[in-house]
Amino acid sequence: MNSEIFSPPQRILMGPGPSCVHPRVYRALSAPIVGHLDPAFLAIMDRLQAMLRSVFQTRNRLTLCLSGTGSAGMEAALANVIEPGDTALIGVNGVFGTRLADIVERVGGRLARLERPWGEVFSLEEVKAALDRDPSIKVVALVHAETSTGAHQPLAEIGKLCREREKLLVADAVTSLGGAEFKFDDWLFDVCYSGKQMCLCGQPGLAPITFSDRAVEKLRARKRKPPSWYLDLNLIDSYWTESERAYHHTAPISMNYALHEALALVLEEGLEKRFERHRLNSRALVSGLEALGFRMFAQEGRRLPMLNAVWIPGGIADAAVRQRLLQEYNLEIGGGLAAFAGKIWRIGLMGESSRRENVIFFLSALEGILWDVGAIRSIGAGVEAAASVYSGKSGSGSSAGSGGTVVSR
């Protein structure tokens, strides 16, 4: 028998998730286990709900975390508000919009598909026109932060439109919650789900989710039970409701400890300060990349601060660069998906990973690799441009001369 102890490397996680984890969250994960109906754990559940309401910026009673990843949140969101035959309008402009569309059909809904090229977002006028074309639409689902492209979807005005038309609005905030402005109540959402491993800086395995009173009414009025027993929010809500505590499943105790500590860190920092930290680090990163001659992928003015997608210039070997970053610098970034595999990098600045030292370290490492393979003629332009943003001497954009520009070969 092999008794060797597994000791994973310590990476700087700057990919599309998971992100780095704060030491306090690691310590919480190692706290003693109690039963899932122990009064001490039930008290943590109550506190988790209160903190999640603060982060979602909602007063929704049905606010909890599902035992599963962000994809479980996605499936639960649609499986609970869509009944067989219901029409759902899904915005597809990346991998996760595509998954939403797939789930609609799996739960027996009728799919109305609204499409944009990857990297772009949907306008209010496009959504309005789609609702005009098909009055039978009951649910609209859009990805607030499309992790596959770095696109940042505006939702406030779409929320007003959906409320006026009496449609339920579902938002995917897996990547954005805790890292970008998100006002559930003010923006008139009905369902939103997220993940623990992105800007909330926890380990993968829990999916925060919240339902408006309108969405709860839809859930309670279903003619048929949701297709998934495990993700049936009528059942899960009973476990999370203080007056009921009906057994549903054995909750992952330690993961909830960790989420409790992660949310405490978010609220201690303050949402506005946290959002500004993500914006600042993204500006510095983008400035450094542009100084090296890179072009950003997502639609200008609609780019996520926590997930920065960038075109890979011709002559640069995608996998080879990412492999060297991992092996030589213990630093992870992500590659592109589907048709954009090998064409873009996805650089994450989420939660604990969104730090000035990580931005400078990544740019320095990237410059070293690019210089080594002959893709740039000198070193320093990227780091200098990022440092200028931090010092307040430069807002954004390239500050490089010809020596820092990527040479396409």
Residue in 336, 373, 352, 346 with CA at minimum distance from that of residue 289: 346
- pLDDT value of position 399: 40
> Checking DSSP bridges between strand 137-143 and strand 87-92, what pairing results, if any?
parallel
- The CATH topology of domain 271-404 is Aspartate Aminotransferase, domain 1 (3.90.1150)
Distance CA 387, CA 257 (A): 37
| pLDDT value at residue 353 | 98
pLDDT for residue 407: 53
How far apart are the C-alpha atoms of 183 and 71, rounded to whole Å?
21
Q: Look at residue 401 in the predicted model and tell me its pLDDT.
A: 40
Please give the model's pTM, rounded to 2 decimal places.
Answer: 0.95
Peptide bond into 8 cis (omega under 30): no
What CATH class has 22-268? alpha beta
The encoded tokens of residue 55 equal 């982060």
Query: Would you list the DSSP string of 2-43?
Result: --PPP-----EE-SSSPPP--HHHHHHHTSPP--TT-HHHHH
> What CA–CA distance (Å, rounded) separates 210 from 360?
37
Domain spans in the chain, listed from the N-terminal domain onward: 22-268, 271-404
Residue 116 CB contacts under 8 Å (≥ 6 apart), including other chains: 91, 92, 93, 122, 126
Q: What is the model's pLDDT at position 3?
A: 74
What type of residue sits at position 28? Answer: A
pLDDT tens-place values along the chain, 409 residues long: 667 888 999 999 999 999 999 999 999 999 999 999 999 999 999 999 999 999 999 999 999 999 999 999 999 999 999 999 999 999 999 999 999 999 999 999 999 999 999 999 999 999 999 999 999 999 999 999 999 999 999 999 999 999 999 999 999 999 999 999 999 999 999 999 999 999 998 999 999 999 999 999 999 999 999 999 999 999 999 999 999 999 999 999 999 999 999 999 999 999 999 999 999 999 999 999 999 999 999 999 999 999 999 999 999 999 999 999 999 999 999 999 999 999 999 999 999 999 999 999 999 999 999 999 999 999 999 999 999 999 998 744 444 444 567 754 4
Q: Rounded to the nearest 5°, which phi and psi values hold at 335?
A: -90, 180
Question: According to the model, what pLDDT value does residue 393 have?
Answer: 80
DSSP H helices in 140-292 = 156-164, 213-220, 233-240, 253-269, 271-291
| Extended strands (E) in 41-152 | 62-67, 87-92, 110-115, 137-143, 145-146, 151-152
